[in-house]
């Protein structure tokens, strides 16, 4: 640990060596009227230059030190206390600290003959403005979405929960990225055990860099090998605020608009912010549809294969004959046909995500015309399978959170294979393994399937019927993590 | 440990599925049997006929000239034997679970122990027991299966729909099995006859028509036939009718009244007294006047009450006649025995062994409780 020297030449030499070949570093030394040499050091583009010029350079160069003010023991201290009109400013003797703050976009001021540096937080870099969240749009409710700057994100939560119990603990994670991470929670509402566990896991992260909150998610989640997400991500400050009030814990990460929420359950992935913004009777209907569609999204291809190739007697006669008619000349077995179409569907999705916007329609045309219609007309794929796959695809996107759809897209394949091999027996096996896995899963001490398993009659009501808000308010339990 | 278990599972799943160790049957490897017929054959054999759909003929746009089904039949010692013989002639595996119609020939009923049929029906899980069971009078079941229907693509589909649309849903093979096994009730099944129907000037085609009901005894031997009209009355008394129409002539041959009947049901009621029991069978319905050629002014309340009284009396007399006719045959298709069994088990024990004979001696009166709900949208006749 090197401390700052009293010699400004030595300090300048050291800093120049530290920032060797950093083309954006600026070391600007100048002399005051009384020949005191000062050194400003900052990264170009990271600081608010106008402020630096107005508040530091101009007064010092043109005005010099105020009249009648003698050189005190520490010029830096004087500047900090009386001179510079900035709020976030401090002095420090450590060179490491100085370098760190310069890297963060601070301004360092060194004075000849003094062994401490003045560090001013004058960060001023270009950031994206607050925009409507694209991934989680709602029909009603706030149009604000998180941005990449963690400070802005914190203010968005602060503005929603105006209470001193809202705590925001700061962490710095990543050897090279030094990413700021903030642990936000409502003191007295959030579960202390969860908080202790989260703090422990955050402290345990040893990594070179955190580029996105997803990195943190993978570091701290309970079971990394599960296909189900055990931490929810959101770019909506209103969801974060609501979750904090429910007793959840939020993690904000600098550099990403996605905040993490934990602990979560299986069901939170199936709930949308809109559920709480629309009239509750309607929400009962949409939730009902969503639950059915969730089942369809992973089970329909498997059920279709199991029914039509293993248990044709279970399909109503007219429908079965319809299916048989459509499949009369199909060259592949049903299970292979469904598998092919699922691959095609998933690749269309993948292509759609990566394509530049202008090429989007191309994929739709190729997908709809070539793969859909032409394959059917050529007799390679039968119509019922197109219907099954399309319905499955639509069902997948009735799940409101994108990351909650992913496990079902994987389970869909597993279910298809096992049902294509063993029929409904296989389907039952698949469901059994899925449920076993789900009941074993935990998110920071909360069973993943709760409140269904373990059963909690009071909280299960919110799963099926969303009661009016005033009913729920009477029921929020203190200190209970959901 | 977990990793090893996972690896083993993955390997098993992959080897078994990749090597084709799976027993799925594609729909194009199946022959869907939509109707079956049972006929009597010589030398103690039975003949099974299966009506099988040809899915490729049902495809939209394919020329509709050829039939969308074919009938395959074979003779055998029992049902399974005959079925195996059919299977050998077919390129696809037969699937009988989708059958909607089971036809039994009149000759078969006469010559065979029908329990032969029931064993297969009840034992083989491939029978869904929901198929309608219908007798064929004056012809063989095979003939009917081969008929085309002017409207439906299969004669069996037509028959199934015909039964349903006329409010006769409860003639499934399951119901027949239950009726014939119960001690205090006997089965009744509808029968088909082939009728030549003129569909247009140029076309006259034979069509299977639901033309009545057969009353069967415990051994499923036919004891008597009811015409279509009598059958409707009988069904009402049995409690299987749900909706129907009725036309009654008005006093002194002055026109007629026609009603639509809904909420049809019946109630059995035993009157106090000893052996022989006196039973009262009450039929109830709600009726709506649909046609009035008797010059009655239905806007008058008194006329309506009178019409209702007259209707009740008429129906009562009419049904009593039908009941007496059926009672003389012996089999208790009404399930009065079941009712008495529950009401007086001790008495029933002495009766059940010869119920068909005892049923004939039973004193049953039919009562009608019909409510006239509406006289239509005009009161008096339009003049």
pLDDT digits (tens, 9 = 90+) for B206-225: 888 888 899 988 888 888 99
CB contact under 8 A, A328 and B55: yes
Domain limits, chain A: 8-120, 150-264, 278-464
Average pLDDT, chain B: 85
- Taking CA–CA distances from B59, the nearest residue in chain A reads A325
Secondary structure class of B306 (helix, strand, coil): helix
Quick one: pLDDT band at residue A214, thresholds 50, 70, 90? very high
- Domain end: B171, B193, B220, which one? B220
Q: CB-based contact (8 Å) between A324 and chain B?
A: yes
Is B53 part of the contact surface with chain A (CB cutoff 8 Å)? yes
Strand-pair partners of B292? B257
Dist. CA A207–CA A204, nearest whole Å: 10
CB-based contact B140:B184 (threshold 8 Å)? no
DSSP assignment of A26-92 = EEEEEE-TT--EEEEEEETTTB-HHHHIIIIIHIIIII-SPTT----S-HHHHIIIII---SSEEEE
Give Cα B383 distance to the centre of its chain.
Answer: 44
Contact B28 A417 (CB under 8 A): no
Choose one of B220, B252, B284: the last residue of a domain: B220
More confident residue, B119 or A473: B119
Nearest to A310 among B24, B28, B126 (CB): B24
Please state, in angstroms and as integers, the Cα–Cα distance from residue B303 to each residue in A141, A218, B258, B298, following that order.
Answer: 67, 86, 15, 6
Chain-chain contact of A420 with B22 (C-beta, under 8 angstroms): yes
| Residue B181 sits in the same domain as residue B148 | yes
Residues B47 and B153 in one domain: yes
User: How does DSSP classify residue A400?
Assistant: S
Rounded to a whole number of angstroms, the distance between the first and last alpha carbons of chain A is 45
| Rounded-to-integer distance, Cα B244 and Cα B323, Å | 18
- With H, G, I as helix, E, B as strand and everything else as coil, classify residue B21: coil
Contact between A4 and A113 (Cβ < 8 Å): no
Q: Is residue B10 part of a domain?
A: no
**Closest of B58, B53, B56 to residue B32, by C-alpha:** B53
- In the block, tokens 């309608």 appear at B132
Q: Calculate how close chain A gets to B291, using CA atoms only, in Å.
A: 38
- In three-state secondary structure terms, A391 is helix
| Interval B113-128 mean pLDDT | 75
Q: How many residues does chain B have?
A: 383
Residue B5 within any structural domain of the chain = no
- Residue B77 structure tokens: 């010692």
**B94 within domain boundaries:** yes
Long-range residue pairs from A58-63, CB within 8 A, at least 24 positions apart, any chain: A59/A83, A60/A30, A60/A32, A61/A30, A61/A32
A418 to chain B, any CB pair closer than 8 A? The answer is yes
Give A383's contacts in chain B (Cβ within 8 Å). none
Nearest to A421 among B16, B26, B95 (CB): B16
Q: Is A414 on the interface with B (CB under 8 A)?
A: no
Run of H or E including A383: helix A383-396
Token pair of B316 as six digits: 């009562």
Chain A residue at shortest CA distance from B27: A324
Interface ipTM > 0.90: no
Asked if residue B160 is part of any domain, the answer here is yes
Domain-embedded: residue B88: yes
- Name the residue among A262, A89, A258, A252 with its Cα closest to residue A171: A252
For residue B319, give the CATH number of its domain. 3.30.300.210
The pLDDT value recorded for residue A293 is 95
Q: Does A328 touch chain B (CB under 8 A)?
A: yes
Helix axes A213-220, A192-203, angle to 10 degrees: 110
**Which of A324, A417, A420 comes nearest B30 by C-beta?**
A324
Task: Give residue B206's pLDDT.
Answer: 85
The pLDDT value recorded for residue A70 is 54
Q: What is the dihedral of CA A396, A398, A402, A404, to 10 degrees?
A: -70
**Per-residue pLDDT tens digits for A373-410:** 888 888 888 889 999 999 999 999 899 888 899 999 99
Per-residue confidence (pLDDT) for residue B22, from 0 to 100: 66
Chain B residues with CB-CB distance to A333 below 8 A: 24, 26
Q: How confident is the model at residue A460 (pLDDT cuts 50, 70, 90)?
A: confident
Instruction: Check whether residue B216 and residue B237 sit in a common domain.
Output: no
Hey, CA dihedral for A88, A105, A157, A478, is it positive or negative? negative
Report the pLDDT averaged over residues A188-196: 92
Confidence at residue A482, expressed as pLDDT on a 0 to 100 scale: 42
Closest to A333 (Cβ–Cβ): which among B24, B53, B55? B24
Determine the pLDDT at residue B52.
92
For residue A263, say if its preceding peptide bond is cis, omega within 30 degrees of 0: yes
Cα–Cα dist A277/A143, whole Å: 13
Helix (H, G, I), strand (E, B) or coil at B155: helix
Pairwise pLDDT comparison (A19 vs B22), residue with the higher score: A19
Check CB contact under 8 Å for A417 and B126.
no
- Of B201, B220, B239, the residue that ends a domain is B220
Which residues on chain A are in Cβ contact (under 8 Å) with B26? Answer: 309, 327, 330, 333-334
Element (H, E) at B260: strand B256-271
For residues B145 and B265, membership in a common domain is answered with no
Cα angle A388, A390, A393; round to 5: 110
Does B3 reside within a domain? no
CA B326/CA A117 separation, integer angstroms: 116
Domain that holds residue B112: 27-220
Whether the CB of B26 is below 8 Å from some CB of chain A: the reply is yes
- The 10s digit of each residue's pLDDT in A319-374 is 998 899 888 888 888 999 999 999 988 988 888 888 887 887 887 788 777 777 88
pLDDT band with cut points at 50, 70 and 90 for residue A66: low
Q: Which residues, at least 6 apart from A417, have a Cβ–Cβ distance to it below 8 Å? A: A335, B13, B17
Nearest to A323 among B24, B27, B59 (CB): B27
Same domain, B170 and B61: yes
Same domain, B295 and B360: yes
- Strands lying side by side in the sheet with B256-271: B244-249, B256-271, B278-292, B363-374
Nearest neighbour of A312 by CB, restricted to B16, B22, B27: B27
Q: What is the C-alpha separation between A418 and A432, in angstroms, rounded?
A: 12
Per the CB < 8 Å rule, is A329 touching B28? yes
- B177 and B36 belong to one structural domain: yes
Q: Kindly determine whether residue B13 and residue A317, on different chains, have CB atoms separated by under 8 Å.
A: no
Is-contact B281 B362, C-beta < 8 A? no
| Alpha-carbon span A9 to A65, nearest angstrom | 22
Is there a single domain that holds both residue B190 and residue B254?
no
- Chain B contact probe: residue of A313, A413, A418 with most B CBs at under 10 A: A313
- Judged by a CB distance cut-off of 8 A, whether residue B90 touches chain A is no
Kind and range of the H or E run holding A385? helix A383-396
Secondary structure letter of residue A140 according to DSSP: S
Residue B183 DSSP one-character state: S
Distance from CA of B105 to the nearest CA of A (A): 24
Are B131 and B157 in the same domain? yes
B137 and B275 assigned to the same domain: no
Q: Do B157 and B117 fall into the same domain?
A: yes
pLDDT tens digits, residue range B19-62?
666 678 888 888 999 999 989 888 888 899 999 988 888 776 55
Residue of A nearest to B68 (CA): A325
* Residue of chain B whose alpha carbon sits nearest to that of A310: B24
Nearest to B59 among A308, A310, A325 (CB): A325
Residue range A270-285: mean pLDDT, rounded: 86
Residues in B touching A321 (Cβ below 8 Å)? 32, 53, 55, 58, 98
Q: Is residue B50 within 8 Å of residue B33, measured between CB atoms?
A: yes
What is the per-residue pLDDT for A477? 46
Residues 6+ apart with CB under 8 A from B304: B298, B372, B375
According to DSSP, the β-strands at B69-76 and B46-53 are antiparallel
DSSP B172: B
Into how many domains does chain B fold? 2
Q: Is B100 on the interface with A (CB under 8 A)?
A: yes
- Interface check for A423 against chain B (CB to CB < 8 A): the answer is yes
For residue A335, give how far its alpha carbon lies from the nearest alpha carbon of chain B (Å).
9
CB-CB neighbours of A215 under 10 Å:
19
Give the range among A79-83, A145-149, A240-244 with minimum mean pLDDT: A79-83
Compute the distance between CA of residue A2 and CA of residue A97 in angstroms, rounded to an integer. 10
Note whether residue B17 is domain-resident: no
Cβ contacts of A308 on chain B, cutoff 8 Å: 27
Q: B111 with B171, same domain? A: yes
Longest dimension (CA), chain A: 103
Contact list in B for residue A309 (CB cut-off 8 A) is: 24-27
What tens digit of pLDDT does each residue of A148-172 get? 999 899 999 999 999 999 999 999 9
Neighbours of A463 (CB within 10 A): 18
> Contact A325/B128, CB-based, under 8 Å?
no
Quote the CA–CA distance of B219 and B115 in Å, as a whole number: 8
Residue B180: phi and psi, rounded to 5, are: -80, -20
pLDDT at B211: 86
B318 in a domain, yes or no?
yes
Q: Are strands B363-374 and B278-292 parallel, antiparallel or unpaired?
A: parallel
Q: Which of B302, B323, B319, B306 is nearest to B257 (CA)?
A: B306
Best mutation target among B3, B6, B7, B27 (most A Cβ atoms within 10 Å) is: B27
> Which residues on chain B are in Cβ contact (under 8 Å) with A313?
95, 97-98, 126, 128
Instruction: At B162, list the tokens.
Output: 């015909």
Residue A284, pLDDT > 50, answer yes
Name residues 28-57 of chain A within 8 A of B (Cβ).
Answer: none
Strand locations in B137-187 (E)? none
Structure tokens at A428: 């039952």
Cβ contact, residue pair A418, B13, below 8 Å: yes
CB contact under 8 A, B22 and A421: yes
B223 within 8 A of B203, measured Cβ to Cβ: no
**Cross-chain Cβ contact A327/B58 below 8 Å:** no
Beta-carbon separation of B22 and A328 below 8 A: no
pLDDT above 70: residue B18: no
């Amino acid at each position: 640990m090197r401390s700052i020297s009293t010699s400004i030449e030595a300090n300048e030499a050291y800093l120049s060596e530290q920032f060797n070949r950093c083309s954006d570093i600026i070391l600007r030394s100048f002399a005051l009227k009384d020949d005191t040499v000062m050194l400003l050091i900052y990264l170009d583009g990271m600081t608010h230059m106008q402020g630096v010029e107005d508040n530091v350079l101009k007064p010092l160069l043109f005005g010099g030190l105020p009249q009648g003010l003698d050189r005190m023991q520490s010029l830096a201290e004087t500047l900090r206390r009386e001179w510079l009109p900035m709020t976030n400013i401090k002095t420090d003797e450590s060179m490491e600290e100085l370098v760190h703050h310069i890297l963060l976009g601070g301004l360092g001021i060194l004075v000849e003959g003094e062994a401490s540096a003045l560090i001013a937080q004058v960060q001023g870099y270009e950031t994206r403005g607050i925009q409507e969240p694209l991934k989680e749009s709602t029909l009603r409710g706030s149009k604000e979405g998180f941005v990449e700057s963690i400070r802005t994100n914190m203010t968005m939560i602060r503005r929603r929960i105006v209470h001193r119990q809202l705590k925001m603990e700061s962490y710095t994670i990543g050897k090279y990225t030094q990413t700021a991470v903030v642990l936000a929670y409502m003191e007295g509402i959030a579960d202390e055990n969860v908080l202790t566990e989260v703090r422990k896991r955050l402290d345990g992260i040893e990594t070179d860099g955190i580029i996105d909150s997803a990195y943190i998610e993978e570091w701290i989640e309970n079971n990394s090998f599960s296909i189900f997400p055990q931490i929810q991500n959101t770019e909506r400050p209103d969801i974060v605020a609501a979750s904090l009030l429910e007793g959840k814990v939020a993690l904000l990460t600098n550099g990403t608009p996605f905040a993490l929420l934990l602990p979560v359950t299986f069901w939170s992935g199936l709930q949308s912010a809109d559920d709480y913004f629309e009239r509750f009777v309607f929400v009962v209907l949409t939730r009902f549809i969503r639950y059915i569609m969730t089942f369809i999204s992973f089970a329909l291809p498997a059920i279709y294969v199991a029914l039509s190739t293993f248990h044709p007697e279970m399909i109503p006669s007219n429908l079965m004959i319809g299916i048989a008619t459509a499949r009369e000349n199909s060259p592949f077995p049903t299970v292979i046909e469904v598998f092919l179409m699922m691959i095609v569907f998933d690749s269309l999705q993948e292509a759609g995500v990566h394509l530049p916007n202008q090429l989007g329609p191309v994929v739709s045309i190729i997908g709809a015309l070539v793969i859909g219609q032409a394959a059917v007309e050529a007799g390679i794929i039968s119509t019922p399978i197109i219907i099954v796959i399309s319905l499955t695809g639509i069902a997948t996107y009735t799940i409101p959170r994108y990351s909650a759809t992913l496990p079902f897209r994987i389970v869909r394949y597993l279910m298809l294979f096992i049902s294509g091999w063993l029929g409904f027996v296989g389907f039952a096996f698949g469901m059994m393994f899925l449920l076993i896995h789900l009941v074993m899963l935990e998110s920071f001490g909360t069973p993943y399937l709760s409140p269904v398993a373990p059963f909690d009659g009071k909280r299960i009501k919110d799963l099926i019927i969303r009661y009016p808000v005033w009913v729920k308010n009477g029921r929020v339990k203190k200190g209970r993590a959901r | 440990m977990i990793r090893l278990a996972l690896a083993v599972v993955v390997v098993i799943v992959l080897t078994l599925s990749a090597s084709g160790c799976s027993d799925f049957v594609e729909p194009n490897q199946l022959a869907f049997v939509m109707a079956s017929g049972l006929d009597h054959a010589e030398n103690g054999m039975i003949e099974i006929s299966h009506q099988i759909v040809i899915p490729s003929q049902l495809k939209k746009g394919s020329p509709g000239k050829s039939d969308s089904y074919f009938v395959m039949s074979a003779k055998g010692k029992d049902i399974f034997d005959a079925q195996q013989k059919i299977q050998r002639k077919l390129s696809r595996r037969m699937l009988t679970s989708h059958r909607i119609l089971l036809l039994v020939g009149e000759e078969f009923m006469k010559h065979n122990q029908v329990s032969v049929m029931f064993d297969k029906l009840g034992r083989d899980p491939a029978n869904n027991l929901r198929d309608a069971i219908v007798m064929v009078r004056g012809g063989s079941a095979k003939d009917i299966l081969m008929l085309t229907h002017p409207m439906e693509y299969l004669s069996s589909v037509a028959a199934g729909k015909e039964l349903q649309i006329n409010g006769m849903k409860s003639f499934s093979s399951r119901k027949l099995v239950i009726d014939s096994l119960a001690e205090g009730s006997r089965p009744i099944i509808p029968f088909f006859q082939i009728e030549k129907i003129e569909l247009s000037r140029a076309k006259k085609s034979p069509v299977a028509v639901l033309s009545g009901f057969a009353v069967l005894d415990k051994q499923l031997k036919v004891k008597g036939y009811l015409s279509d009209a009598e059958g409707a009355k009988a069904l009402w008394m049995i409690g299987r009718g749900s909706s129907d129409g009725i036309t009654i002539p008005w006093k002194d041959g002055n026109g007629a009244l026609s009603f639509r009947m809904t909420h049809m049901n019946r109630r059995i009621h035993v009157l106090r007294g000893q052996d022989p029991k006196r039973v009262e069978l009450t039929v109830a319905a709600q009726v709506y006047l649909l046609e009035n050629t008797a010059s009655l002014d239905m806007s008058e309340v008194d006329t309506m009450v009178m019409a209702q009284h007259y209707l009740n009396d008429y129906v009562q007399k009419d049904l009593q006649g039908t009941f007496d006719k059926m009672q003389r045959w012996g089999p208790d298709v009404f399930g009065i025995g079941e009712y008495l069994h529950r009401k007086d088990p001790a008495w029933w024990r002495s009766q059940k062994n010869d119920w068909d004979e005892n049923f004939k001696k039973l004193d049953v009166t039919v009562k009608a409780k019909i409510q006239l709900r509406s006289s239509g949208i005009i009161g008096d006749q339009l003049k």
